[in-house]
Amino acid sequence: MGGRDDATCQRLLDRIGLQGKQFITDDWPGYHRLIPAAQLTTGKHLTFPIEQDNSNIRHFLARFRRRTKVVSKTEDMVDLSLRLYHHLHDQPAAFAALSMTFLYIFG
């Protein structure tokens, strides 16, 4: 989506909006410049679980670690990959059903 700068952060905030939201972030100064203090909570101890989940996603989705022509990194493909990952990861029954389908077809 962009670099770690004020312009990129502002584009993200424009996209998701500030109204009615609470933000939990690390202590990067850009957040303090762009997000009202009443809506901003900072602390590494609060962002650790998010970083751990991001690490798990990077581990399971090669799309975020490979630099090949085979793996598309378009915004649409990244979005679809994340949706599929969360659907299967957060709903074990959906993963089990998909696994059974693959076993039936290829088993």
Q: From CA 34, how far away is CA 28, in angstroms rounded?
A: 11
- Residue 41 has phi, psi (to 5 degrees) of -125, 130
- DSSP states of 26-73: ---HHHHHHS-GGGEEE-HHHHHHHHHHHHHHHHH-GGGT--SSSS--
Tell me the domain boundaries of the chain. Answer: 1-42, 44-107
Predicted model pTM: 0.53
By C-alpha distance, which of 15, 31, 33 is closest to 23? 31
pLDDT tens-digit profile, the chain (107 residues)? 678 899 999 999 999 999 999 999 988 999 999 999 999 999 888 888 878 877 777 777 766 666 666 566 677 877 887 888 777 778 888 778 877 887 878 76
